[in-house]
Amino acid sequence: MRNFISSLTSEYYKSRKTLNFGATILLPVILCSIVCLGFFAMADKFEKMDGKAIWGFFSGAILGVLGNLLLPLLVIFLANSVNSLEHKADTWKTLFSLPISKWTIYAAKYFYVLMLLFISMLLFALFTIGYGDLLGTIRPNLKFHDYQMTGLLLASHFKLFLSCSGILSIQFLLSLIWSDFLKPMGIGFLLFIIGMVLNSVNWHYAFLMPYAQPAISIKTMVANPNVRSDVPVNIFTSEILMSMIVSTVVFLAGYYVVKRTRIK
């Protein structure tokens, strides 16, 4: 466990000055700021909305862009950048000659990416809540203060986080295998487009496709007729369960690949 924590700390130390770490923080700041500015500039249009509706509209704008486009791309980028750091510096041989088990090194890297994604999603939720409250304060005609949406937003973003875990494991494995970052990124983009198409044609089995799961999770989040109004987010829907299964299986398969890898 101590080795795992030190490896995790090392992952943070190595990547803290890189773009992937910056993207984790910058992306929520930028996207939420843009949507906030849009609401601020067009406040007149939203004046008539009640608290629940304006929160739904405001957070939906962010969640929609996130789930349908940005999040899968962010995951592809994050998973790739942690491993490409080692490929670029040719440090796999050094890492694997340290007195640390391969499992610990592999797991620490994976959980670091998972952590970055979690932090990013948490920041999205917190910035959404913060900007909503800010808008309600500086533009009192926008009725953000009439409704409390913190729990729902945190749950929504947690669901989105889970919906990406399958993509994360696949991309993490691909970026371990190939040192050339174009291959995992290219394959990731291609699968993402396929996922988008499957989702847009409402294919019945699209929930099985990891790259379609974030977008499906947005649909199931807001359009579940069976949920009660006080518990509006049904987190563990079929695509989320599938994403978690894919994530676990591919994560374990990835370790097998690492174990068998010859360091040339």
DSSP string spanning 111-157? Answer: HHHHHHHHHHHHHHHHHHHHHHHHHHHH-TTSGGGG---HHHHHHHH
Cβ neighbors of 40 (< 8 A, separation 6 or more) are 135, 138, 139
Give the nearer residue to other proteins in terms of CB position, either 85 or 194: 85
Give the nearer residue to other proteins in terms of CB position, either 98 or 249: 98
Give the nearer residue to other proteins in terms of CB position, either 94 or 141: 94
CA pair distance 68, 8, nearest whole angstrom: 30
Binding site for other proteins (CB under 8 A): 2-3, 6-7, 9-10, 13-14, 17-18, 85, 88-91, 93-94, 96-101, 262-263
Please answer whether residues 113 and 85 qualify as being in contact, where contact means their C-beta atoms are separated by less than 8 angstroms: no
Minimum CB distance to other proteins, residue 193 (Å): 31
DSSP one-letter code for 237: -
CA pair distance 245, 15, nearest whole angstrom: 28
Give the nearer residue to other proteins in terms of CB position, either 103 or 236: 103
DSSP string spanning 45-63? Answer: HHTTS-HHHHHHHHHHHHH
Minimum CB distance to other proteins, residue 104 (Å): 10
Give the nearer residue to other proteins in terms of CB position, either 190 or 263: 263
Please answer whether residues 240 and 159 qualify as being in contact, where contact means their C-beta atoms are separated by less than 8 angstroms: yes
Minimum CB distance to other proteins, residue 195 (Å): 33
Minimum CB distance to other proteins, residue 179 (Å): 13
Minimum CB distance to other proteins, residue 7 (Å): 6
